[in-house]
Amino acid sequence: MEQVFLLKGLDCPNCAAKIEKEIGALDGVEESRINLMQQTLTLRIDSKIADTIEKQVEIIVHSREPEVEVSRSRAKNAVEDTDDQRKMLFRLLAGAILFIIGIFSGRFSLPVLMLAYLLLGGDVLFKAARNIAKGRIFDENFLMSISTIGAFIIGEYPEAVAVMLFYQVGEFFQAAAVKRSRKSIEALMDIRPDSATVIRDGQARTVSPDTVAVGEIILVKPGEKIPLDGIVLEGDSMLDTVALTGESVPKTVGQGDPVLSGCINQSGVLTVEVAKPFGESTVSKIINLVENASGRKAPTENFITTFARYYTPVVVILAVLLGVMPPLLLQGGWAVWLHRALVFLVVSCPCALVVSIPLAFFGGIGAASKHGVLVKGSNYLEALHRVETIVFDKTGTLTKGVFNVTHILPAPGFTEAQLLEYAGQAEQYSNHPIAASILAACHGATEDAEDYQEFSGQGVRAVVGAKIVLAGNDKLMMAQGVDYAPCGLTGTKVYVAVDGQFAGCIVIADALKEDSKEALRALGKLGVKKTVLLTGDNDEIAKAVSDELGIDAYYAQLLPHEKVEILERLDREKPAGSKIAFVGDGINDAPVLARADVGIAMGGMGSDAAIEAADVVLMTDEPSKLMEAMQIAKGTKRIVLQNIVFALTVKGVLLLLGALGIAGMWEAVFGDVGVALLAVLNSMRLLRK
């Protein structure tokens, strides 16, 4: 069974990782996952511990973060969050003022600096003592406590207070950064509608969207959010779809058009028939995807968590050796080497990495959401950065999935208008998609047909105005003895004959999307080395689409299981260390979406099965969104690597300089808090993309 707890006030990624690990190790807990953005803990547990798990969770959380409130309620109190920030800011300002007074107060400096130290670092000392009592020694609280107490012992009072002051400044900015990241995600949550106006017994009633059933009629007035997915029965309007798709251009809808929940009705009143219950609506799916996204950690995040767990005890041991071994060997200089050891401890704190790396991935997911790209976890965002092979479905992904007349080729003696009119009159009683395309092109038949006949697999025959009209494929022409001119263009060909004379050919094809060429061209610049097309269509059409788009290879006339087999073969052939992605939009694409390293669902919120199986969802049917998704993934990875290289380089240099006595406590403060703050600010750049 699954249980969700709210951890109100949890802002530290490092502490969250430790809490998640400890709770996951409890008996009966199958999975433990903390979502820092939503401040939630999701547990999958054995039903036998359902009654006791809340108490155990509370004990573990409070052992790490005593001020965090644990509850099963999802309600959040923004006023309390603001009060907490104000208290923290007041404490920082008071501590900073006392610190400045202490430096210039002469013989009273020690009491004033001691007061400033306790005001700023009292909670750090308390956490360190509590963790030591529980057997958890090597963490940032321990490093801060032992280094500052040591500084007091050797008479470096201002440095001791400065370490605590700047450490708390770093913690304040860390909390602010997490809060800003959370707000960027919560802005997307604003698309959730609060109410729906439903017509019941002839009366308009305002109800909760989750009480409206499929088939009921709702009214959506100008300025209101569409509460549920449905079909427009009456009215015309412009819809603001930016919250769903990231597109600023409004979409025009009218009678018969589908509308998605979360869009804002800008102009006319719409009468909509509900097509899906609230739990299955587009807005619910988006919210669920985004809320759960930050719970799936990228390999880099897991590496940093593991790295910090081993790194901290190693540097503590090195600091002890640095403070003890040289004085023993040199027979003196204890104060000098102890000072160097304390500098070494302050510099070594891993906050820059354990805070900034998760923040970078949160920022990447938030930036993608703003652009209409939903990434189900930071692990998929990182995998997208390493994609070098992309496999595409054709219909609805690279093409529009709608058959249209693309070429009208009249024979001598006939005009384009005549050819199209004859074809429309012959096809007017057919329900075939090809007939619908011809009728749409000629805007319906102008004269009724008589003696209508349909030849299975060939075409139709009809008498129109005393003339016998044939419309069909080459088999029909040959069967009826018509001397026709074969057409070499790609697409479905409809040959037309009038009273036995060949009148011409109409070509019907599934047109490419406007941005398909641009997207394929851009992917090459983003590091994609191979593109492949998989389609159930015939070889001729698959080849034409591949040639036009510059796709490296294609496979035609495939069934769903054959697509999976080919993807598995391509997976074995891909370069070592790279990833393979599949882009599709239909129910038949779900198996191959699930099999790919990164499954990407296209076509708006088309197929439920495709969206469930996919790791990334593109909210519009534009292939160019894939380019944006990869740009964000690569930008996120670039910032993560910048933070890692910057933090480790600066810390490595300062650790060496501290050990040699060149760097003092002030440089150590920059090596800890300064590096952490710069790394956090670098991560925040993603939210501005």
Type of residue found at 684? M
Return d(Cα 365, Cα 301) in angstroms, integer.
Answer: 14
Q: Can you point out the beta strands (E) in 69-177?
A: 69-71
Q: Do residues 357 and 378 make contact, with C-beta atoms less than 8 angstroms apart?
A: no
Cβ-Cβ contacts under 8 Å for 446 (sequence gap 6 or more): 421, 424, 425
Q: Do residues 278 and 210 make contact, with C-beta atoms less than 8 angstroms apart?
A: yes
Return d(Cα 264, Cα 284) in angstroms, integer.
Answer: 16
Unique residue bearing structure tokens 């009678």: 255
DSSP 72: S
Q: Show the 3-state SS of 20-71.
A: HHHHHCCCCEEEEEEECCCCEEEEEECHHHCCCHHHHHHHHHHHHCCCCEEE
Structure tokens at 148: 């500052």
Q: Which long-range contacts (CB under 8 A, 24 or more apart) does 283-288 make?
A: 283/191, 283/192, 283/193, 285/605, 285/611, 286/188, 286/191, 286/244, 286/262, 286/374, 286/619, 287/188, 287/189, 287/191, 287/192
Neighbouring CB atoms inside 10 A of 525's CB total: 9
3-state secondary structure at position 629: helix
393 is catalytic: yes
3-state secondary structure at position 1: coil
φ, ψ (nearest 5 deg) of residue 570: -65, -35
Structure tokens at 169: 């400044």
Return d(Cα 581, Cα 586) in angstroms, integer.
Answer: 16
DSSP 107: G
Catalytic-role residue among 139, 229, 240, 393? 393
Distances (CA, A) of 578 to 24, 385, 387, 550: 31, 9, 6, 22
Return d(Cα 469, Cα 427) in angstroms, integer.
Answer: 10
φ, ψ (nearest 5 deg) of residue 156: -90, 65
Q: Do residues 409 and 654 make contact, with C-beta atoms less than 8 angstroms apart?
A: no
Unique residue bearing structure tokens 């009705």: 265
Among residues 476, 475, 474, 481, the alpha carbon closest in space to that of 501 is found at 481
Distances (CA, A) of 486 to 289, 493, 502, 505, 506: 51, 9, 11, 8, 11
Among residues 564, 614, 610, the alpha carbon closest in space to that of 585 is found at 610
Return d(Cα 471, Cα 618) in angstroms, integer.
Answer: 40
Return d(Cα 86, Cα 129) in angstroms, integer.
Answer: 26
Return d(Cα 135, Cα 615) in angstroms, integer.
Answer: 40
Active-site positions read 393
